[in-house]
Amino acid sequence: MPKKKFNQKNKSLNLKVNSEIYLQILTENLVTQSYVSWLNEYEIMAFTEQAGLNHTMESTKNYVHSCYNNSLIYFFGIFFKDRHIGNIKLGPINEKHSTAEISYVIGCREYWGQGIASKAINAILLFGFTELGLHKISASAYENNIGSIKALLKNKMKIEGTFKENLLHENKRIDLISLGVLKNNFLS
Q: How many CB atoms lie within 10 A of CB 159?
A: 13
DSSP annotation of 7 reads G
H/E stretch holding 177: strand 172-182
Set out the domains of the chain in order of their start, with CATH numbers: 12-187 (3.40.630.30)
CA–CA distance, 70 with 75 (Å, rounded to integer): 10
Is this prediction's pTM over 0.95? Answer: no
DSSP code per residue over 75-123 = EEEEEETTEEEEEEEE---BTTTTEEEEEEEE-SGGGTTSSHHHHHHHH
What average pLDDT does the segment 64-74 reach? 95
Question: Is the pLDDT score of 176 beyond 60?
Answer: yes
Distance, in Å, from the CA atom of 159 to the CA atom of 85, rounded to the nearest integer, reads: 27
CA separation (Å) from 168 to 33, 140, 176? 29, 15, 10
Query: Is it the case that residue 3 has pLDDT exceeding 60?
Result: no
Residue 2: pLDDT band (50, 70, 90) is: very low
Secondary structure class of 31 (helix, strand, coil): coil
Predicted local distance difference test score (pLDDT) of residue 13: 87
Alpha-carbon span 54 to 41, nearest angstrom = 10
Mean pLDDT of 22-51: 94
pLDDT one-digit tens code per residue, 127-139 = 999 999 999 999 9
Kindly state the helix (H) or strand (E) to which residue 158 belongs, with its residue range: strand 158-169
What is the average pLDDT across 139-152? 96
Per-residue confidence (pLDDT) for residue 51, from 0 to 100:
86
Decide: 108 and 117 in contact? Cβ < 8 Å.
no
Predicted confidence band at 34 (pLDDT cuts at 50, 70, 90)? very high
185: nearest Cα among 163, 158, 162: 158
